[in-house]
Structure 1
Amino acid sequence: MLFPADSKTPEPNFASPVLFLVTVLGRRTKQNLPFASGIRSSGKGRASSPIRSATLRIAALSANRTASAIRSAPQRKEMSMNSRKAVRLSVAVLLAIGGVPLAEAQLTRSWVASSGLDTNDCTRPTPCRTFGRAISVSNSGAEVVVMDSAGYGPFTINKPISIISPPAFHAAIAPTSGTAITISSGISGAVVIRGLYLNGQGATNGILQQGNNALIMENVVISGFTTGLNFDVGTTPRFIVTDSTIRNSSDGILWKGASPGRGVLERTRLENNTVRAFYINSGGTFSIRDSIVTEGSHGVFLDTLDPASVDLINSAVFNNDGIGIYASASGAGAVDVNLDHCLMSRNGSAIVAQSPIGASVIRVAQSLIANNNNGVSWGGAMASVISRGDNTLENNNSGNTFTSTYPAK
């Protein structure tokens, strides 16, 4: 028994946790002292206000009445409706005073706005100012939604979540150093980023993926970073990028995670990236569809020790000063590239295959390779650029023949 039994105060029924709380607090008071005095004595110096004092008095009165009802009728199995309301009010006051923030419940949808404050609860009526704050009060799998055009500052994603800016708004992240968006390791679900503008002002990374979770990127512009989209980590990440633009960076996309990983680009532009548009430096499987690689140095550039394959379908690689498609097997893992319904034009070299160690094979079907300084070239015993026999390879200054032809299946 929690309290000594006596003839005046029988042992109460503790089936309800709330009933237990009110009974204990009622017992702790002496000579029917106001319940609020006990609260004030444990308030740890919190500032008082007229509203707070009134709330405490209401809570005290309700709790004392409830406790009296319990002592006078211990055999009743159910509390009256008024007593239940009083208990709920008392518990709410206790939680608020005791340091449990009632407004901090995890949200399924949170909101950010230029007029928001990070002291807010991130609901739509009272949005937060930054993505970082909104993420911290959101559930895994929740959405963080932009309410207006503004700069929102760099942030880190540490849970599966969707960051969404509707098409009507220009939600920008413009760091002068470091990384605009960091996706931490240890995330078990997908991260979705939709509709943001990442504008590097001397910063290193647009998006840095540190984990092995999936990144889904839609309608995002990344511009002006050392690396636009960076998978330079020792994991096996995955990505799907659609309707996006990565431009004005050194490397547009850097893939340097441990193999095998995989990625998809659809309806995406890689433009004016000064070193490589898409640099694949470790193993994986990749699909590039309905996309454009242009106005840079090198385009799709594979140089890896591990097995890697790329399917380039219904896409255009043109106006690049260096090599449009480069495939080199620097280790024992084979490198395999398939081009289908593609345009390769006005590049320094359209297609180059190299095999320093492993096999490097580029297959071309129903594509146009024309008006390049060099059309097709290969080097090494296991390097080849082979045609299905239905391509146009002409009007290049050199490299107007394939290694061989393979039959259509």
Structure 2
Amino acid sequence: MKSSIKLLYTAGFALAGTVAFASPASAQATRTWVSGTGDDANPCSRTAPCKTFAGSISKTAAGGEINCIDAGGFGAVTINKSITILCDETEAGVLVSGTNGIVINDGGAGTAQVTLSGLDLEGLGFTTSGSGIRGVWFISGASLVVRNSTIRNFRDATNGTGIAFTPSTTAKLLVDNVSVTGNGNGTAGGGIVIQPTGSGSSKATITNSRIFNNGGTGVLTSAVGLTAGTALYTEIRGSEISNNNAGVGAISPPSTRSVMVTTVHSTSSQNTLYGVLSNGSSAQNRLSDDVININGTGVQSAAGGFLLSYGDNLLFGNTTDGTFSSTLPKQ
């Protein structure tokens, strides 16, 4: 009898030990870490960091944060939940060829809130290998913040784009202190392309950023393919949109959504086609305290698009300056 009890206790302690060791291994942490010398077999703790963002995200709880301990190339990743990747204090590289860099897609739930900060995304578009497609691609979620980052050389022939914001739900975008350079290819793609799909809509703010030397359009907000519904809003403040194939575009074909782009204290210059375009009777650009110069056409209206000035813009030195539709009183 005593022997049987002893064996039962021994088995019980063994089982308890197994459970105790299994739980921490399967739990997700609210903060995880990556390192250039890490290993994705690790738990992604501060003392045992992972090697890649993809390796770390599965071990990070929804709403949690991934931090970079030191410099490294941390690879492409698909994000399907609320998360922050914060690497402002070191070099956090994402280098890809023939694919997308960072994809945000919560499967249509429209709830994921994602922040990316301190990243260096390289698409190898000027090498002999296959170019990256999109640097950051937002498909579905509630919001995306991209700050203190560089996104360059995503030059896929069809979809090469620095930031592609194509939500299928209602979503918000903030781009703050970001350099978007060398993306797009010819007239395709561009620097920042905001083009919701299905019943999606967007509210975007771009501030203190540099959109330079991109194919396609530097900053494009488009309602192409959408039916009537919530308007698309984009605000650009304190930014430089220069040396792109085209500058700032608002496109809304007839019988689709309204598109309103407001540009304040920014410069659109040296763009091959135009500085600012409104295309479609439901498209409008509102401009205040902007410089528009040395473009093919300074401001251009097509198909009844509106170009509204607050009377304090500098429009000069373009091959064709163009004219504003009207001047609005400053509030």
Q: Residues 104 and 121 of structure 1 are in contact (CA less than 8 Å); yes or no, is this contact kept in structure 2?
A: no
**1:348 aligned to 288, 296, 318, which one?**
296
Residue equivalent to 2:222:
281
Residue equivalent to 1:190:
113
Counterpart amino acid of 1:277?
G
Residue equivalent to 1:68:
none
Residue equivalent to 1:34:
7
Q: Residues 218 and 241 of structure 1 are in contact (CA less than 8 Å); yes or no, is this contact kept in structure 2?
A: yes
Between 100-109 and 139-148, report the one with greater CA deviation: 100-109
Aligned equivalents of 1:247, 1:136: Cα separation in 2: 31
SS at match of 1:153: coil
In proportion to residue count, which structure has more helix? 1
Residue equivalent to 1:243:
177
**1:386 aligned to 318, 326, 330, which one?**
326
SS at match of 2:196: coil
Counterpart amino acid of 1:219?
N
1:102 Cα deviation from its structure 2 partner:
2.3
Aligned residues: 301
1:362 Cα deviation from its structure 2 partner:
2.6
Q: Percent identity?
A: 24
Shift in alpha-carbon separation, 1:187–1:144, aligned structure 2, 3 A:
farther
Q: Residues 335 and 360 of structure 1 are in contact (CA less than 8 Å); yes or no, is this contact kept in structure 2?
A: yes
Shift in alpha-carbon separation, 1:214–1:408, aligned structure 2, 3 A:
closer
Structure 1, unaligned runs of 5 or more: 1-26, 36-58, 64-88, 378-383, 388-405
In proportion to residue count, which structure has more strand? 2
1:96 Cα deviation from its structure 2 partner:
5.4
RMSD (CA atoms): 2.2
Aligned equivalents of 2:214, 2:283: Cα separation in 1: 23
TM-score normalised by L of structure 2: 0.84
1:301 Cα deviation from its structure 2 partner:
1.2
Residue equivalent to 2:273:
322
SS at match of 1:134: helix
Aligned equivalents of 1:158, 1:407: Cα separation in 2: 45
Shift in alpha-carbon separation, 1:242–1:312, aligned structure 2, 3 A:
same
Aligned equivalents of 2:312, 2:233: Cα separation in 1: 22
Aligned equivalents of 1:196, 1:94: Cα separation in 2: 40
SS at match of 2:272: coil
Question: Which one scores higher on RCO, CA 8 angstroms, separation ≥ 6?
Answer: 2
Residue equivalent to 2:314:
368
Q: Residues 247 and 271 of structure 1 are in contact (CA less than 8 Å); yes or no, is this contact kept in structure 2?
A: yes
Q: Residues 251 and 259 of structure 2 are in contact (CA less than 8 Å); yes or no, is this contact kept in structure 1?
A: no
Q: Residues 88 and 148 of structure 2 are in contact (CA less than 8 Å); yes or no, is this contact kept in structure 1?
A: no
Is the aligned partner of 1:170 residue 2:91? yes
Residue equivalent to 1:148:
70
**1:179 aligned to 100, 122, 134, which one?**
100
1:278 Cα deviation from its structure 2 partner:
1.2
Residue equivalent to 1:115:
37
Encode CA deviations 1:123-171: one digit per residue, 9 max, x unaligned.
101111111221111122111001111111111111101001123x111
1:231 Cα deviation from its structure 2 partner:
2.0
Aligned equivalents of 1:187, 1:160: Cα separation in 2: 10
Residue equivalent to 1:252:
191
Aligned equivalents of 1:95, 1:157: Cα separation in 2: 30
Q: Residues 270 and 293 of structure 1 are in contact (CA less than 8 Å); yes or no, is this contact kept in structure 2?
A: yes
Aligned equivalents of 1:272, 1:285: Cα separation in 2: 24
Q: How does 1:35-184 map to 2 (within 5 A)?
A: 35=8, 60=10, 92-95=16-19, 100-167=22-89, 169-184=90-105
Counterpart amino acid of 1:140?
A
**1:223 aligned to 133, 148, 152, which one?**
152
Shift in alpha-carbon separation, 1:32–1:260, aligned structure 2, 3 A:
closer
Residue equivalent to 2:247:
299
Residue equivalent to 1:311:
262
Counterpart amino acid of 2:176?
T
The structure whose Rg is larger is: 1
1:277 Cα deviation from its structure 2 partner:
0.6
SS at match of 1:244: strand
